[in-house]
Amino acid sequence: MQNPSPGRRPGGYPDYGTHLPSSRGGGSGHPPREAPIDKRTGALLAYALMWLSGIVLLIVARQDPDVRYHSAQSTVFFGGVTALNVLVNIVGSVVHPLVWALGLLMFVVSLFTVGVWLICLYRAITGDGSRYELPFVNGIVTPYAEQLAAALE
Protein backbone atom coordinates (compact mmCIF):
# COMPACT_ATOMS: atom_id res chain seq x y z
CA MET A 1 0.00 0.00 0.00
CA GLN A 2 1.26 3.40 -0.92
CA ASN A 3 1.36 6.38 1.51
CA PRO A 4 -0.93 9.26 0.49
CA SER A 5 0.63 12.57 -0.46
CA PRO A 6 0.70 15.29 2.23
CA GLY A 7 -2.57 17.16 2.61
CA ARG A 8 -4.55 14.28 1.14
CA ARG A 9 -6.57 11.70 2.98
CA PRO A 10 -6.59 8.09 1.88
CA GLY A 11 -8.95 7.66 -1.01
CA GLY A 12 -7.79 10.84 -2.77
CA TYR A 13 -10.03 13.30 -0.91
CA PRO A 14 -8.43 16.51 0.39
CA ASP A 15 -8.29 17.11 4.13
CA TYR A 16 -10.46 20.19 4.53
CA GLY A 17 -9.95 20.40 8.29
CA THR A 18 -6.30 21.41 8.12
CA HIS A 19 -6.97 25.11 7.45
CA LEU A 20 -9.17 25.66 10.53
CA PRO A 21 -7.62 27.57 13.42
CA SER A 22 -6.45 25.36 16.21
CA SER A 23 -7.97 25.51 19.64
CA ARG A 24 -4.55 25.38 21.32
CA GLY A 25 -3.61 28.36 23.46
CA GLY A 26 -7.14 29.04 24.73
CA GLY A 27 -8.62 30.06 21.37
CA SER A 28 -11.95 28.57 20.44
CA GLY A 29 -11.64 29.05 16.70
CA HIS A 30 -14.26 31.84 16.83
CA PRO A 31 -13.51 35.46 16.05
CA PRO A 32 -12.84 37.64 19.10
CA ARG A 33 -15.83 39.23 20.77
CA GLU A 34 -16.67 42.74 19.67
CA ALA A 35 -16.60 45.68 22.04
CA PRO A 36 -19.87 46.58 23.76
CA ILE A 37 -22.03 49.26 22.20
CA ASP A 38 -21.24 52.87 23.01
CA LYS A 39 -23.43 54.91 25.36
CA ARG A 40 -25.11 56.99 22.66
CA THR A 41 -26.12 54.00 20.54
CA GLY A 42 -27.23 52.11 23.64
CA ALA A 43 -29.42 55.00 24.77
CA LEU A 44 -30.98 55.26 21.30
CA LEU A 45 -31.64 51.52 21.12
CA ALA A 46 -33.12 51.50 24.63
CA TYR A 47 -35.89 53.84 23.51
CA ALA A 48 -36.26 52.71 19.88
CA LEU A 49 -38.98 50.08 20.46
CA MET A 50 -40.14 51.44 23.79
CA TRP A 51 -40.33 48.77 26.52
CA LEU A 52 -39.47 45.88 24.20
CA SER A 53 -36.01 47.19 23.33
CA GLY A 54 -35.60 48.26 26.95
CA ILE A 55 -36.01 44.68 28.14
CA VAL A 56 -33.68 43.33 25.44
CA LEU A 57 -30.93 45.79 26.36
CA LEU A 58 -31.39 45.10 30.07
CA ILE A 59 -30.46 41.52 29.30
CA VAL A 60 -27.77 42.14 26.67
CA ALA A 61 -25.96 45.33 27.70
CA ARG A 62 -25.01 44.64 31.30
CA GLN A 63 -21.52 46.17 31.11
CA ASP A 64 -22.45 49.84 30.89
CA PRO A 65 -24.41 51.32 33.81
CA ASP A 66 -25.71 54.25 31.73
CA VAL A 67 -27.11 52.00 29.00
CA ARG A 68 -28.60 49.79 31.69
CA TYR A 69 -30.22 52.89 33.25
CA HIS A 70 -31.72 54.02 29.93
CA SER A 71 -33.02 50.49 29.35
CA ALA A 72 -34.58 50.35 32.81
CA GLN A 73 -36.11 53.81 32.39
CA SER A 74 -37.59 52.81 29.03
CA THR A 75 -38.94 49.57 30.46
CA VAL A 76 -40.49 51.21 33.52
CA PHE A 77 -42.10 54.16 31.73
CA PHE A 78 -43.33 52.54 28.52
CA GLY A 79 -44.19 49.28 30.28
CA GLY A 80 -46.22 51.27 32.81
CA VAL A 81 -48.09 53.07 30.05
CA THR A 82 -48.82 49.73 28.37
CA ALA A 83 -50.10 48.28 31.66
CA LEU A 84 -52.27 51.37 32.14
CA ASN A 85 -53.68 50.91 28.64
CA VAL A 86 -54.56 47.27 29.35
CA LEU A 87 -56.16 48.21 32.67
CA VAL A 88 -58.24 50.99 31.10
CA ASN A 89 -59.40 48.63 28.35
CA ILE A 90 -60.49 46.06 30.94
CA VAL A 91 -62.36 48.66 33.00
CA GLY A 92 -63.94 50.08 29.84
CA SER A 93 -65.19 46.67 28.78
CA VAL A 94 -66.76 46.05 32.19
CA VAL A 95 -68.20 49.52 32.84
CA HIS A 96 -69.75 50.51 29.53
CA PRO A 97 -70.85 54.08 30.44
CA LEU A 98 -67.17 55.01 30.94
CA VAL A 99 -66.01 53.89 27.51
CA TRP A 100 -66.01 57.37 25.96
CA ALA A 101 -64.31 59.03 28.92
CA LEU A 102 -61.69 56.30 29.18
CA GLY A 103 -61.13 56.44 25.42
CA LEU A 104 -60.50 60.16 25.63
CA LEU A 105 -58.18 59.64 28.60
CA MET A 106 -56.17 57.03 26.71
CA PHE A 107 -55.97 59.28 23.66
CA VAL A 108 -54.39 62.02 25.79
CA VAL A 109 -52.06 59.50 27.48
CA SER A 110 -51.05 58.14 24.05
CA LEU A 111 -50.23 61.63 22.77
CA PHE A 112 -48.18 62.28 25.91
CA THR A 113 -46.38 58.95 25.51
CA VAL A 114 -45.48 59.63 21.88
CA GLY A 115 -44.19 63.07 22.90
CA VAL A 116 -42.00 61.61 25.65
CA TRP A 117 -40.78 58.91 23.24
CA LEU A 118 -39.77 61.51 20.64
CA ILE A 119 -37.98 63.58 23.31
CA CYS A 120 -36.12 60.45 24.46
CA LEU A 121 -35.05 59.60 20.92
CA TYR A 122 -33.94 63.20 20.27
CA ARG A 123 -31.92 63.39 23.48
CA ALA A 124 -30.36 60.00 22.78
CA ILE A 125 -29.31 61.07 19.27
CA THR A 126 -27.98 64.51 20.24
CA GLY A 127 -26.55 63.57 23.64
CA ASP A 128 -23.49 61.65 24.70
CA GLY A 129 -25.38 58.73 26.26
CA SER A 130 -25.22 60.03 29.81
CA ARG A 131 -28.19 59.65 32.11
CA TYR A 132 -31.11 62.03 31.91
CA GLU A 133 -34.51 61.92 33.47
CA LEU A 134 -37.72 61.76 31.51
CA PRO A 135 -39.62 65.04 31.22
CA PHE A 136 -42.69 65.54 33.44
CA VAL A 137 -42.52 62.08 35.07
CA ASN A 138 -38.97 61.96 36.40
CA GLY A 139 -40.00 61.76 40.06
CA ILE A 140 -42.20 58.76 39.39
CA VAL A 141 -40.05 56.76 36.96
CA THR A 142 -36.46 57.44 38.10
CA PRO A 143 -36.53 55.60 41.48
CA TYR A 144 -37.94 52.46 39.88
CA ALA A 145 -35.49 52.66 36.98
CA GLU A 146 -32.56 53.00 39.41
CA GLN A 147 -33.83 50.04 41.39
CA LEU A 148 -34.31 47.87 38.29
CA ALA A 149 -30.89 48.79 36.86
CA ALA A 150 -29.18 48.02 40.20
CA ALA A 151 -30.98 44.70 40.53
CA LEU A 152 -29.54 43.45 37.25
CA GLU A 153 -25.88 44.21 37.99
Give the pLDDT of residue 152.
80
- Range 31-40 average pLDDT: 72
Rounded to two decimals, the pTM is: 0.73
> In the structure, what pLDDT confidence band is assigned to residue 27 with cuts at 50, 70 and 90?
low
* Contact (Cβ atoms closer than 8 angstroms) between residue 137 and residue 112: no
* DSSP-derived 3-state class of residue 101: helix
Give the pLDDT of residue 136.
82
Give the pLDDT of residue 125.
92
- Residues 5-18 pLDDT 10s: 665 556 666 555 55
What gap in Å lies between CA 1 and CA 103, rounded to an integer? 87
* Contact (Cβ atoms closer than 8 angstroms) between residue 45 and residue 37: yes
